[in-house]
Amino acid sequence: MKKHCRLLKDTLTIVLITFLSVNLLLCSSAKAAEEKVPDEIYFLMQMENFLKTNYVEDVSDLDLLRGAIKGMIESLDDPYSEYFTPEEFEEFNEEVSGNFGGIGVIITLKDKYITVVSVIEGSPAEKAGIKPGDKLIEIDGSNVTDLPLSSILDRIKGDKGTMVNIGVIRGEDRQVLRFEVERDIIKTNPITAKILGQGIGYIKISEFNENTVENLDKALNSFKKGGVLGIVLDLRNNPGGYLDQAVEVASRFVHKGPIVNIVSKDGTIQSYNSNSQVSPYQLAVLVNGGSASASEILAGAIKDREAGVLVGERTFGKGMVQRTLSLGTLGGIKLTIAHYTTPNGTNINKTGITPDIVVETDKTNPLKDFVPLNTQKTLKYGNIGLDVLAVQQRLQFLNLLGTAPDGVFGPRTQQAVKALQKQAGISATGVVDSKFYSALNDAIYKKIVSQEDIQLRKAIDVLKEMIKKSRAA
């Protein structure tokens, strides 16, 4: 693998040198240029000169070079190969690594405010006194209540050691509190773990970043102390990440032998293997159409090596391997350099992995036939129309409307509106306003996500049987 990385780096270096030499070559005569460089490169030199001379605005060599590299990558017609500007490349690396400079809060838009959902344990935010439920209103003295979530995140993030002033509203008295917080490197934890009881533990891996193995080991240590015999490993909607992390995770469950084979362009095969003993845990692995790349490497190893049982739906089918290369001021690229096969030699690209036990979820949208909700329209007793009907349909979905939706805001609709308002802890006015719409959407979301996870239930049942058989043996 290192050999191929070096080859890739050397090739790109040659290309860059060629392009960076364009301006110098342009100083020579056309005839000399024709004699020294291939026709294709000479054409690019001419095109650069043409653009710089004739384009109505000034254009820099750097911008033209970046555009040329972007065009080359796009010409590959590969959905997984990308060109990044310097800013985009920095954001990409931050995202896949799981480490960034910040204060350690998870935020979301709620009730028209950017609200702190959770505070990472041991983070600067926790040390400063910021708490879940706090509503952000100021950053560095500037009001941010009208800014989108992405802009607020950009303002909170920053280099380690730099300071940021956070202003929040806390509690029903809308007390304004201000905190001076020193940014630090925040390590996101992609592992969610809990003991379900009856000797069964649950681990969800959301992605394979630099912190995956470290946090997995912590979870497994707690499981050992808690008497866990079987594990549900949830890889649903895991888009992948670092190859080495996926291999290390696989080594925790797959006994000595192959995990994945990386096949390069020239046919060279590099195998990654486990050197571990047989896992002490029975294992059921949840997968679906959102399980891709590195999560498929893990799932494929577990299935082929019979280290566990796969439950759920066919995986995404991304069997390609990418590597990144920094180009300095030119940005960076992500390039597909190989494909991989499972231990049995199966290429799963565009086909995915079929689980041992197929359990399909209900993919229907319960609201798909509802009238669109106009959240800007205030409604009250006596109103008639489609806007009323839209509200009634949703109240019926929540089992609050004791009659069929008819588009008439009558006594029963008013009673249902008040019931939802009481549930949400807001004034029971019986009027449909912005607070009601927010409460309505929250209630619908909670109902949808609270519906029984049939895939998880099946995985637990499978584990119970596996544990029972292992004890009998």
We report the CATH number of the domain holding residue 255 as: 3.90.226.10
pLDDT on residue 15? 37
315-352 confidence digits (pLDDT tens):
999 999 999 999 999 999 999 999 999 999 999 999 99
36-62 confidence digits (pLDDT tens):
667 777 788 888 889 989 999 998 989
List 274, 322, 393, 455, catalytic entry: 322
Looking at per-residue confidence, does 7 or 377 come out higher? 377
Q: Is residue 460 part of a domain?
A: no
pLDDT on residue 9? 36
Q: Is residue 40 part of a domain?
A: yes
Q: Are residues 335 and 406 in the same domain?
A: no
- Rounded distance between C-alpha atoms, residue 87 and residue 332, angstroms: 10
Nearest to 83 by CA among 331, 305, 260, 424: 331
405-445 confidence digits (pLDDT tens):
999 999 999 999 999 999 888 889 999 998 899 889 888 87
pLDDT higher than threshold 70 for residue 286: yes
Helix (H, G, I), strand (E, B) or coil at 264: strand
Per the listing, tokens 């990440």 go with 241
Q: Which residues pair with 320 in a beta bridge?
A: 339
Q: Is residue 437 part of a domain?
A: yes
Query: Is 198 among the catalytic positions?
Result: no
In the predicted model, what is the mean pLDDT of residues 88-114? 84
Amino acid identity at 415 = Q
pLDDT higher than threshold 80 for residue 261: yes
pLDDT on residue 417? 96
pLDDT higher than threshold 70 for residue 461: yes
Q: Is residue 309 part of a domain?
A: yes
Q: Are residues 336 and 197 in the same domain?
A: yes
- Which of 95, 121, 156 terminates a domain? The answer is 95
Q: Is residue 459 part of a domain?
A: no
Q: Are residues 106 and 138 in the same domain?
A: yes
- Rounded distance between C-alpha atoms, residue 233 and residue 65, angstroms: 46
Q: Is residue 365 part of a domain?
A: no
pLDDT band at 24 (very low <50, low <70, confident <90, very high): very low
Q: Are residues 36 and 119 in the same domain?
A: no
Structure tokens at 440: 């309505």
Q: Are residues 151 and 170 in the same domain?
A: yes
Query: Is 224 among the catalytic positions?
Result: no
Q: Is residue 399 part of a domain?
A: yes
pLDDT band at 402 (very low <50, low <70, confident <90, very high): confident
Asked whether 23 and 45 are in contact (CB, 8 A), the reply is no
Nearest to 186 by CA among 118, 88, 246, 139: 118
Q: Are residues 49 and 122 in the same domain?
A: no
Q: Are residues 163 and 207 in the same domain?
A: no
Secondary structure of 351-411 in HEC code, one letter for each residue: CCCCCCEECCCCCCCCCCCCCCCCCCCCECCCCECHHHHHHHHHHHHCCCCCCCCCCECCH
137-184 confidence digits (pLDDT tens):
999 999 998 888 878 888 998 999 999 999 999 887 777 899 999 999
pLDDT on residue 48? 87
Q: Are residues 89 and 103 in the same domain?
A: no
57-78 confidence digits (pLDDT tens):
998 989 999 999 999 999 999 9
Q: Are residues 77 and 141 in the same domain?
A: no
List 293, 392, 393, 455, catalytic entry: 293
Query: Is 9 among the catalytic positions?
Result: no
Angle of helix 243-251 relative to helix 294-304, nearest 10 degrees, comes to 30
Q: Which residues pair with 186 in a beta bridge?
A: 100
In the predicted model, what is the mean pLDDT of residues 106-129? 85
Q: Are residues 354 and 424 in the same domain?
A: no
pLDDT higher than threshold 80 for residue 373: yes
How many structural domains comprise the chain?
4
Q: Are residues 428 and 326 in the same domain?
A: no
Q: Is residue 39 part of a domain?
A: yes
% of the chain surpassing 70 pLDDT: 91
What CATH number should be reported for the domain holding residue 153? 2.30.42.10
User: Is the pTM above the cut of 0.75?
Assistant: no
Domain that holds residue 68: 2-95
pLDDT higher than threshold 80 for residue 107: yes
Query: DSSP E strands: which ranges in 103-174?
Result: 105-110, 113-119, 135-139, 142-143, 163-170
Q: Are residues 238 and 305 in the same domain?
A: yes
